[in-house]
């Protein structure tokens, strides 16, 4: 396969390509476009990364692909479009993502107070092992409910997920 600079490069492995296409429902990942003919685009250009990694790949139609290549759709925007697809795909709620992003900005050992009987709101984060619950020892109990909050914190896996999204880089 040849890219626009004429260099040869290995094809994108079929399983990675499929995952990228399925993530976008075999349509352009730009939500206002959603055209049905799609290419797989490298967010960080192939010439720079020389790798076919799922996190760096996004499904774009030929038009949006050209616009991305010209820099009319920048990398950060592409990452946000991919992120939106991943929210839908991984089925995290907006609350869960807000909580996870907040926790990921905190130093290890710090957390957010959370009522242990309300962990249901964060069920998918717990199921994914992205966060943990630290239960405090003391506190008053009223009808089986503890008056003082427990704490939630982010796991290494959760931090890795946030940094994988790469929203800090351009």
Residues that bind Zn ion (CB under 5 A): 28, 30, 33, 35, 61, 64
Decide whether 44 or 58 has the Cβ nearer to Zn ion: 58
Minimum distance, C-beta of residue 27 to Zn ion, in the bound complex (Å): 8
Decide whether 57 or 100 has the Cβ nearer to Zn ion: 57
Q: Could you identify the residue written with the tokens 């905190």?
A: 106
Decide whether 61 or 103 has the Cβ nearer to Zn ion: 61
Which residues share a beta bridge with 63? none
Pair of tokens at residue 135: 């239960």
Minimum distance, C-beta of residue 125 to Zn ion, in the bound complex (Å): 31
Burial bucket for residue 112 (CB in 10 Å: 0-12, 13-18, 19+): middle
Decide whether 13 or 31 has the Cβ nearer to Zn ion: 31
Minimum distance, C-beta of residue 75 to Zn ion, in the bound complex (Å): 16
**79: how many CB neighbours lie within 10 A of its CB?**
21
State the alpha helices, DSSP H only, in the chain.
14-23, 46-49, 62-69, 75-90, 94-104, 123-127, 156-164
Minimum distance, C-beta of residue 62 to Zn ion, in the bound complex (Å): 8
């Amino acid at each position: 396969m040849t890219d626009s600079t004429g260099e040869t490069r290995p094809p994108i492995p079929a399983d990675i390509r499929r995952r990228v296409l399925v993530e976008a429902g075999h349509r352009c990942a730009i939500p206002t476009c959603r055209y049905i003919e799609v290419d797989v685009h490298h967010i960080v250009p192939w010439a720079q990364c020389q790798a076919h990694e799922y996190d760096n790949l996004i499904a774009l139609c030929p038009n949006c692909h050209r616009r991305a290549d010209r820099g009319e759709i920048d990398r950060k925007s592409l990452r946000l479009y991919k992120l939106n697809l991943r929210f839908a795909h991984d089925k995290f709620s907006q609350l869960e993502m807000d909580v996870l992003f907040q926790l990921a900005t905190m130093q290890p050992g710090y957390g957010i107070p959370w009522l242990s009987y309300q962990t249901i709101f964060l069920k998918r984060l717990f199921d994914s092992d992205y966060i943990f619950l630290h239960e405090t020892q003391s506190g008053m109990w009223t009808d089986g409910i503890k008056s003082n909050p427990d704490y939630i914190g982010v796991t290494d896996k959760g931090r890795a997920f946030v940094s994988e999204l790469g929203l800090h880089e351009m």
